Structure 1
Amino acid sequence: MIQTLAANPNCDRRDHIAYSATSFGYMDKPYIRWWWPHGLVDPDEIKAEVDQIAEAGFGGFEIQDVHHSIETGTDVNSTTHGWASEPWVNAVVAALEEANSKGLGHDMAFGPCWPLSVHTISPDDDAAAKELVLGKAFVTNTTYNSSVPSPFSKASSNAKKSTLVAVQAWRVNNASSASANPVYLDYGSAIDLTDSVTNNKVVFVPPDNATWLIFSAIVRGTGQQPEDYPHTGNTSYVVDHFNKAGVEAVTDFWDSYILSDELKALFAETPTAFMEDSLEMTTATYWTPNFPAEFKSRRGYDVGKILPVVALYKSSKPLFKFADSEVTRGAINDYEDTLSDLYINYHIAPLKAWANNLGIEYRLQPYGVPGLDSIRAAATVDIPEGESLGFKTLDSYRSLSGAAAMSGISRVSNELGAYAKAAYATTWTKILNTVNPEFAAGVSQNVLHGYSYIDAPGAVWPGWAAFTPIKGAIGYSESWGPQHPAWRHAPDFTGYLGRVQYILQRGARRYDCAFLRQNGAVDEIFIGDYFTAEGGKVGWSTAYIDPGLLKHSAAYVEGGRFAPDGGNYSIIAVQGDVSASGAPVLTEATAKTLYNYAKAGLPIVMIGDWSSPRSYGLGSASSTTVRTYVKKMLALENVANAATASDVSGAIGTLGVGPSVQYSASTLTHTWRQDGELDHYFFVANSSSTGVSQTVSVATRYANIVPVQLDPWSGNATVLPLYSISNGRLSFPLSLQPYQTTLITVVPVSSSDIVHAVNSTAPSLARDSTGDRLIARSTSAGSFTTVLDNGTSVTTDLDTPLATISLTNWTLDVDDWQPSDGDGLTGDISATKLVRHSLNLTSLVTWSSIEELQDVSGNGTYSTTFSLGKEGNPYTNSSGAYLNLKKFNGSFRVAINGKSLPSLDQLALRFDVTSWLKNGSNIIEIELRRPIRT
């Protein structure tokens, strides 16, 4: 639909604001994950694919050895062409040489697939991943005189060695039984039988008539191989992530077999990151040989006192618990805290030091192990990363963002666009609907999932895809590249992401609320009360912190704000431990720190019942200390207690704090960066069905400012035509379609002598192409009044515009993408033929409603001709026009009268086409690109 406008310039702008975010480098652009079938690749094809990635507008790539579509156990020339083989290294050299010549960044996975592994160890080596397995037997009123109970989970066929950690006897609680699931034990009843074991035999005489558990704990290698094995000639095994030996095996291998002087030089030409994927380890109880000694030194007691409740079975299910649930909770917390300590100290720290010494950054997905303190881990790496597939809530990203804010990390990365059962069916619009809210939750870098090398054994048309099919079924999206119809539109998408990332990687992250999580496990579903739910709908911005971040050098209070250089929060929120039914627990150190913050004047809101707080870990003495600090804290005027989530709003109201960005309740959400004197705001309508049209108010730091709106699709920047400044706040209108975004930067100026409207009865205001004049617009005649910032009132009389034109009589030319060589199962599996369908339509309708195109996928062009203006009332650019479209299932581009419009916001429904139309006959062409599978 073409909707013409009545428009009239009504005033001049008296100053010029220079602001541009159109220039950005490869570090600002999105990367793409590039999957290789080992070294079974051709260097010339590798260079060609680098060129394709560059032409599509990506800033770089990440090389991964992944081939899930090839059945696990199938050997894809791993002996001669496996990961780290000579052909693989030669291909890496070719990729880096071509990338450097194109100015592309180049990241590398640390190893084949995931978890981290090498093929120079065996499961029995100290460097290999270990597990704690358990055996059990029960006795009642009889002596146990038999073999040490054997583990009832089978060992890997390649794990030959096992070491006995403990044999213990535990009294079964009188309210439980040997057949219960779980079995409840009496804490403190343990009798250590380890030293009495002889020739694998143990004797135990029960001291009473109760039922007793004979419990054995044995450590052995997991024998886990990286996913989708084999990748190497010699079998690769996952390394121990909780001791130094595991890291040393990895770094020694890279130093000895991969990092030639040539490769080091190529890596050094442009910034590189080594990437480690999530910890998808297969054991139930994570262990390392030195765990007992590490546990005692860190927690202050012997891990044997809690061993049955931390030794889990399949799928991390507990077979045993203590009758006192508080003891069970504290024991598990102590175990998980120790595991986190070891992971951070003995895995992350040495890997980062090794990589940084090479001038290479360390990018990590610090999650996958239940209970792992991912927030604290994320604060210690160069680039923490999350994922749109595994993260079920935006608050998982907010957890990584809290870590990034505290450590001054500019990039929170995101593995973007992996959707189950969506291979060859993903559109750029779906990607946008996913990434835009994630930007608002703290993401500032994206690595698209992904790009497959063109061919591999067993591949079919339109080319090899690393993640589909999987076990004969449709796999994960997406295999982007020239074989995907929408790839032609990739530059529009990468340009948009690059401009957003350019802004979001600048300056410092700023938030209102630091929400304390007792457990920093970001992959667990956690949504803090109020602040990211009801509070987020009215402007509260929130990032998560945990006890580990409270020990950070940036974690201090100054001027009534927390972490002024690490988030600059106005309030801390503390909720009970959701993993323990909301238990009011804190570590002793956390309770003391929070009390000191409160004494320094920081507002704190405690959510839930904190009348009887206790220690996060074991220890009655610690619980007494926690209660003392919490009681003293709650007595302070700047600390409020909200009994429930519904009471939070009232509680924070009594503290006199509010969000920096404010708006009426809606689907709007945002993120904020403070970049020197600039304040950058990113807004998104976070809903699949509901947009926003409302006024937004933001706090200001300077008296003379102007708000500049950046269009991340075109790169154009314009001073808003309508805004007001009052009482230290800037207000402006905002209208967005579902999942649509905008960027607003508040710029200080030397003078406020910049004409803008503060109020108008006109349906819309704009600036002309030079930005020097305000324009009132309306799709109907009328007299409209605009009040300027200097108090002047301007009346604009607009005549009746040309009649709205409903565009009909469309021609649709569709190119149906089909295998060029037979059925696509043999021959040149990457060759595609285009079968043309030409149709005449009476209206602009989707393909799915056209019978002839039911099974057609590819690209198509809708075109129509229409006449604009008439004798005595011609169309002129001084009036204007909108093109109104409906939603497309795919991505689109528009050309008018043979001229392509700039990249268009794929989530918008109305476009200003004033400059492209002319009086008389006009031609509109809309190019649509759809995935192969619809």
Structure 2
Amino acid sequence: MIRSKTRLLAVPVAALMALTGLAVVEAAADAPSFGPAVPALTRGTFADPPASVRPKYRWWQPLAYTDDKELGRELDQIKRAGGGGAEVAPFSVEGTGNNTPEFLKTYGWGTPLWAQKTRTMLAEAKAKGLGLDFTIGPRWPATVPTVDDVNDPSAQQQVVFSHEFHKGGTSRSGELPVNFDTAPPAGAKRTLIAALVAKCSDAGCASSSGPRMLDRASVTDVTSKVDAQGALRVDFPGDDKSTYALIAFYQTPSGQSLSGYTATGTNYALDPFSEAGAKATTDFYDEHILTPDVRKLLAQLGESDLFEDSLELGKTQKWTSELVGQWTKRRGYSPVEVLPALAGAGDQGITDRPFFDFGGGVGARVRTDYRQTLSDLYIRNRLDVLREWGHRHHISTRIQPYGVPVDVSEAASHIDVPEGESLAFGQSVGAYSNVQDYRVVATGAHMSGRPVVSDECCAFSGSVWGSTAGAGSDASNLQAVYRGFAGGVNQVVWHGLPYLSRGPAGAGPQSAWPGMTYGGNTSYSEAWGDKGGPNWADYRAVNDNLARMQLVLRQGKPRFDLAVYWQDFGMNGTGTTGSGSNKLIQSSSALASAGYTYEYLSPAHLKRKDASYSRGALFGDGSAYHAVLLNDQKTMPVAAAEKLLRLARQGLPVVIVGDVPSAVPGAGDAARQDARLKSVVSTLLRQRGVVRVASEADAPRALQRLHVAPAATPHDGSGAILDVRRKAGSTDYYYLYNQTNTATAQKVTLTGDGVPYKLDTWTGKITPITDYTPGHGAVTVPVRLAANDATVITVTPRHDGTFTGHPGHPGRPREHGKTVPQAVKLDEWSLSVDSWGPGASGLPGDTAHKTLGPVTVKAGTDGALPAWSAITPANGYPVDLKDVSGVGTYTAHVTLDGGWKGIDAAELDLGTPVDTVRVNVNGRDLPSLNQSDPRHVQVGRYLRPGANTITVRVASTLLNAVRVAPGTGAASRTPMDYGLFGPATLTAAGGDRPVLTAEALEPELPLADGGYNRATVLVTNASGRAANVAVAAAAADGISAKPERGRVRVPARGSVTVPVDLRDKGVASGTSTVKVTASSDAGPSATTAVTLRHSGDLALNPGGTPFPRVVADAGQDRYPAKLAVDGSPSTFWVSWGRAAGQGPTPADPVRYGVDFGAPVEFGSVVVGGRSSYGPRDYGVQVSSDGRTWRTVATATDTPKEGGTTAFARVSARYVRLDITRSWDGIGANVQMSGFSVRP
């Protein structure tokens, strides 16, 4: 999206098989033969995945101003870090004179030297067993050096209009009006598309500030009357009581360009809708880059990707030379006389507030036809042309198909490797971060049978040198990757790995220590490589983990429960296009909470030959949907409705939520088509397998009535876990992702024959799961996941070298005595830090190291250890770590008493260290640790009775060192806290005696005065016998804490979750602690604690804990609903809608509220405004069940800056705003910086 990209190539399959003897599973049967084969998951490939399934790196390079040896070294760095390849992305060269034509004749993109560098990199990648991809050109959008004339026919085009008003009975003559809505670029040729005369529906339209409504029947095409000099004489009929508009539409170049990359200076963005635009790229490659040596290497490598970024084509209104002809052919009517509906329609053509419009919904239909036609041309003239050309050269297309009006899921099916991105698709941690945009992209790959769905990850704004691996923050890489995987992604392209230096020494801040970045030391993350942060060394383990997940997620074929019908030309995310009338179903939906998985079915997909229903599945050779859902779908093409009817008659279950389709989306022959559609839908509604419900919340029950069950069913109904299922032969693979910001522990029932195995993606081990319950064609397994963490489970009947057999349920070992080992607090550590900073030369990559310490650090009364920023002389320490980046080594000595004898399982809880962690116990290195879950480090087999030494190595990011280094320009960056923060504890988890553990899944919870919350405690019985356990809770004065079950039976080697209801009875500030104790009748006991943070705001939830839970209509992915309840006035929520007129109205309100988890009493709401974008009119509604609502207050003309709405005190579980108008009354959405509820 709004950043450059670098992607890596796949290892050639033939070479891979020759080198490793790997078995290969072919891509889906209906996929094109061109493309990668998928390595089969075996014990060997899972332990050490091949390069073809490993993450790639966007590799930013300063054009051809690079050293061949350094290029080889950087590819070595990628290989050592567990990467599978690189994507070459050219950037400009830093320094005076390095963007001149003379310099660029030698070093520019597309020069002979660039072609030579291409050959060098391909040869190095081949020798190292890596893939190599290339961006389609320098930066984005696509340009080539040969298109340096603004009027080149292959350059991007736009439509502009001019107008004038005249009274009836008058005349005009002379030049057509030139008051263009958008000024054509200097020197641009103007081509008249049409000159039209139309009567205004309202005589006062000339002075109107809203859409100027025109009489559709009055539109007259007068283009033929325009003379060669561009003059026109018109006599307007009628009298002075009528008003006429003369409107002239012109095609001109958009003028969007790039400069500083090629010797030809300014290069103009290519037309994405014309074949000429695509061929400008392919012809240039054929003539200037694909030399004989390069072609030979591409053939030997087997496959490389040509990557095109998202289409960020500015705010001009899109056009292309053949649009009128193609519109006429495809839509069945000429667009010329309806062009006024496009006047001022915006860069996406989706506004409801154009400059001119037609009544009766005609204008909206015309704009839909406009977007559909552009989408058709983008697919035919760009995607198909690039792919056909690429295949001739052993090149695949990898493209982000969004940014202009495009049917994304259909477009993705015309791409070899469709790609999304974490930045445009939202990247917020917790609170049910949406994954649906990824699913739209993935649907296309699944339709075409392509095995790979890619993700540009993880570009965090302002976070270069500061992104973390597993820490739960918006700059946490693993949570962003895991989100994409939950949306159907199975290839990560890291953003990114910059070349060592962006220019000659001294050329600028990116040509000095630490080195080149994406855009300076305050820009987007990340700057991976040997010159990067101290945590880089640990990314081998991170990439091994991701490679194993990607291997799993490419096995067999995808399986989804539902297909959601979805016709749109863009998506909801910033940087895509925004959405039209349809909204994606959020990841916090009732469907998702019930375990249903779903993709998005375009009407184009229903035209496919394989769109059939048999053996209980639609597209049985693809995603095998068991039902189709229409979500408040008001429009539908007749052909799509007829196909759904045929499928329903064949037995396909259909659930219709809300409105039924009553109009076709386009304007061609609309009256007759609408009538036909209504007849078809009426027949559809009468089919036995078609159920209509009022809301999406009712959809799960409707599906159950139709005997459509989710393949994976989480038992607690919290909606925490999202799943992805792949089926390969008799084996079912499940990827399970905790999408919340708190840990979850629950049972999940997985469809599949056989027995379950855990695929440990951090260690590469495949082990049977013994604690499971078999069922009919399914198994139920316990799942515990840290916040934003993921795991992989397989269900299979296989018994072979990969799945080596199942030992069954374990027997009961003999237990000796009842002496129970007590948890050991590790409160004192010796800390030494290898500090990183600029070397003496100050050059990129010259990092100096200095040892600081050792120093003794001790935990406070709460068990917390000091961050490095607090270890300073001012705080009594002999060293100063305030601005230090580096690697800290913590050493603790602990003596285990006799109670630990016979203990063979123990967990080391490290709290939340920053950033990456390695552990050594008694001189033995532990296997790679799950960086998302440092609270459960398994150390039992490394411990011994008596004295033990535990060493924890914590590697930081490089940010703090970069901040204080001279010349980096990063002094304004906020410093990070590094280190081992604790509390650090050692807890027995199993052995030859009864062991009981208790863990608070939410260590911190908000609890407001008068409010409710719920803590969840996981009680685990590690002994071989079931235990009867009493659970008790103790809280501070003014706080009520009551376990929902005072006694529970915990199975042998099993766990039980115990909810604890919390009530605040008058504590409005500060913190308090709830202690929960679990005591077994057999003797063992365990205690855990929850910190409560008190306030006077019943809705406040900055940590994204399960309650209070936001309940809101769809919002922007980059501005999720949780941002209105995080307590920060600088963050804000933005409702769905990206075009004028899509904001709230009385007929279509926007709703925002919270679920408290239980009834509470309150008497006011406080709304934080957003100037001209905040709520203006709204009702305050309450509910006991989330379905039936009553209004308790109405607010009109509320202040722009927000304010308080008071009402008679009520008791309810839910409260929401029913927003009917924003201060920007014609705007695209409504925004709120805060939402508070007061007692």
**TM-score when normalising by structure 1:** 0.88
CA RMSD of aligned residues (A): 2.5
2:174 is paired with a residue whose SS is strand
Contact kept, 8 Å, 2:833 with 2:886, in 1: the verdict is: yes
Contact kept, 8 Å, 2:345 with 2:355, in 1: the verdict is: no
Q: CA deviation at 1:331?
A: 0.7
Contact kept, 8 Å, 1:398 with 1:544, in 2: the verdict is: yes
Equivalent of residue 153 in structure 1, options 150, 170, 182 = 182
1:813 is aligned with what amino acid?
A: S
User: Measured at CA, do residues 161 and 307 of structure 1 come closer, stay the same or move farther in structure 2, by a change above 3 Å?
Assistant: same
Q: CA deviation at 1:854?
A: 2.5
**Matched residues in 2 for 1:753 and 1:500: separation?**
22
**Matched residues in 1 for 2:952 and 2:671: separation?**
71
CA offsets 1:31-74 (integer angstroms, 9 cap, x no match): 00000111111111111111111111100000011349889995
1:926 is paired with a residue whose SS is strand
Contact kept, 8 Å, 1:427 with 1:931, in 2: the verdict is: yes
Q: CA deviation at 1:865?
A: 2.0
User: Measured at CA, do residues 660 and 175 of structure 1 come closer, stay the same or move farther in structure 2, by a change above 3 Å?
Assistant: farther
Equivalent of residue 831 in structure 1, options 846, 856, 863 = 846
Flag the structure with more relative contact order, 1 or 2, with Cα contacts below 8 A and sequence separation at least 6: 1
2:681 is paired with a residue whose SS is helix
Q: Which moved more, 1:193-202 or 1:640-649?
A: 640-649
2:230 is aligned with what amino acid?
A: N
**Matched residues in 2 for 1:604 and 1:203: separation?**
58
Q: CA deviation at 1:548?
A: 1.2
Gap regions ≥5 residues in structure 2: 1-40, 427-433, 471-475, 860-864, 873-879, 960-975, 977-1239
2:417 is aligned with what amino acid?
A: I
1:83 is aligned with what amino acid?
A: W
Equivalent of residue 939 in structure 2, options 894, 913, 918 = 913
1:253 is paired with a residue whose SS is helix
Counterparts of residues 393-792 of structure 1 (less than 5 Å): 393-429=434-470, 430-457=476-503, 458=508, 459-469=510-520, 474-484=522-532, 485-522=534-571, 523=576, 524=578, 527-529=583-585, 533-577=589-633, 584-610=634-660, 612-618=662-668, 619-663=670-714, 664-666=716-718, 667-688=720-741, 690-700=742-752, 702=753, 705-749=754-798, 754-757=806-809, 774=810
Counterparts of residues 870-885 of structure 1 (less than 5 Å): 875=901, 879-885=904-910
Q: CA deviation at 1:219?
A: 0.9
User: Measured at CA, do residues 237 and 132 of structure 1 come closer, stay the same or move farther in structure 2, by a change above 3 Å?
Assistant: same
Residue 1054 of structure 2 corresponds to none
Q: Kindly indicate whether residue 867 of structure 2 is the aligned counterpart of residue 846 of structure 1.
A: yes
**Matched residues in 2 for 1:796 and 1:324: separation?**
82
Residue 285 of structure 2 corresponds to 254
**Matched residues in 2 for 1:605 and 1:531: separation?**
19
Q: CA deviation at 1:88?
A: 2.0
Gap regions ≥5 residues in structure 1: 1-16, 578-583, 758-773, 776-785, 787-793
Q: CA deviation at 1:797?
A: 6.0
User: Measured at CA, do residues 795 and 725 of structure 1 come closer, stay the same or move farther in structure 2, by a change above 3 Å?
Assistant: farther
**Matched residues in 2 for 1:66 and 1:391: separation?**
24
2:530 is aligned with what amino acid?
A: P
**Matched residues in 2 for 1:320 and 1:90: separation?**
52
CA offsets 1:580-616 (integer angstroms, 9 cap, x no match): xxxx100111111111111111001111122744445
Residue 210 of structure 2 corresponds to 181
Q: CA deviation at 1:910?
A: 0.9
User: Measured at CA, do residues 736 and 72 of structure 1 come closer, stay the same or move farther in structure 2, by a change above 3 Å?
Assistant: farther
Q: Kindly indicate whether residue 81 of structure 2 is the aligned counterpart of residue 56 of structure 1.
A: yes
**Matched residues in 2 for 1:837 and 1:182: separation?**
68
Q: Kindly indicate whether residue 890 of structure 2 is the aligned counterpart of residue 862 of structure 1.
A: yes
Contact kept, 8 Å, 1:560 with 1:602, in 2: the verdict is: yes
1:402 is aligned with what amino acid?
A: T
User: Measured at CA, do residues 18 and 247 of structure 1 come closer, stay the same or move farther in structure 2, by a change above 3 Å?
Assistant: closer
1:735 is aligned with what amino acid?
A: R
1:494 is aligned with what amino acid?
A: N
Residue 580 of structure 1 corresponds to none
Residue 225 of structure 2 corresponds to 196
CA offsets 1:231-256 (integer angstroms, 9 cap, x no match): 44443222111121112211111111
1:632 is aligned with what amino acid?
A: T
Contact kept, 8 Å, 2:501 with 2:515, in 1: the verdict is: yes
2:382 is aligned with what amino acid?
A: H
Equivalent of residue 125 in structure 1, options 139, 145, 152 = 152
Residue 769 of structure 1 corresponds to none
CA offsets 1:259-309 (integer angstroms, 9 cap, x no match): 011111222232311111111112522111111111101001111122122
Contact kept, 8 Å, 1:515 with 1:574, in 2: the verdict is: yes
Q: CA deviation at 1:654?
A: 2.9
Residue 927 of structure 1 corresponds to 953
Q: Kindly indicate whether residue 298 of structure 2 is the aligned counterpart of residue 267 of structure 1.
A: yes
Q: CA deviation at 1:836?
A: 2.9
1:550 is aligned with what amino acid?
A: L
User: Measured at CA, do residues 136 and 332 of structure 1 come closer, stay the same or move farther in structure 2, by a change above 3 Å?
Assistant: same
2:205 is paired with a residue whose SS is coil
Contact kept, 8 Å, 2:194 with 2:250, in 1: the verdict is: yes
Residue 782 of structure 1 corresponds to none
Q: Which moved more, 1:359-368 or 1:228-237?
A: 228-237
Residue 363 of structure 2 corresponds to 328
1:814 is paired with a residue whose SS is strand
**Matched residues in 2 for 1:925 and 1:72: separation?**
52
Q: Which moved more, 1:644-653 or 1:303-312?
A: 644-653
User: Measured at CA, do residues 900 and 110 of structure 1 come closer, stay the same or move farther in structure 2, by a change above 3 Å?
Assistant: same
Contact kept, 8 Å, 2:115 with 2:288, in 1: the verdict is: no
**Matched residues in 2 for 1:450 and 1:116: separation?**
20
1:147 is paired with a residue whose SS is coil
Q: Which moved more, 1:593-602 or 1:73-82?
A: 73-82
Equivalent of residue 285 in structure 1, options 299, 317, 329 = 317
CA offsets 1:742-766 (integer angstroms, 9 cap, x no match): 1001111479994433xxxxxxxxx
**TM-score when normalising by structure 2:** 0.67
Residue 364 of structure 1 corresponds to 399
Residue 812 of structure 1 corresponds to 831
1:586 is paired with a residue whose SS is coil
1:717 is paired with a residue whose SS is strand
**Matched residues in 1 for 2:567 and 2:817: separation?**
61
Contact kept, 8 Å, 1:816 with 1:835, in 2: the verdict is: yes
Equivalent of residue 305 in structure 1, options 324, 327, 337 = 337
Q: CA deviation at 1:919?
A: 3.1
CA offsets 1:683-722 (integer angstroms, 9 cap, x no match): 011112x22111111222x3xx111101101101110011
CA offsets 1:315-355 (integer angstroms, 9 cap, x no match): 55654342425212211111111111111111111110110
Contact kept, 8 Å, 1:375 with 1:521, in 2: the verdict is: no
**Matched residues in 2 for 1:916 and 1:462: separation?**
41
Q: CA deviation at 1:527?
A: 4.7
Residue 1166 of structure 2 corresponds to none
Residue 1082 of structure 2 corresponds to none
Equivalent of residue 895 in structure 1, options 906, 920, 937 = 920
Task: Report the count of equivalent residues.
Answer: 862
Contact kept, 8 Å, 2:112 with 2:289, in 1: the verdict is: no
1:731 is paired with a residue whose SS is strand
User: Measured at CA, do residues 813 and 233 of structure 1 come closer, stay the same or move farther in structure 2, by a change above 3 Å?
Assistant: farther
Equivalent of residue 78 in structure 1, options 89, 94, 104 = 104
User: Measured at CA, do residues 32 and 644 of structure 1 come closer, stay the same or move farther in structure 2, by a change above 3 Å?
Assistant: same
2:831 is aligned with what amino acid?
A: L
Contact kept, 8 Å, 1:598 with 1:639, in 2: the verdict is: yes
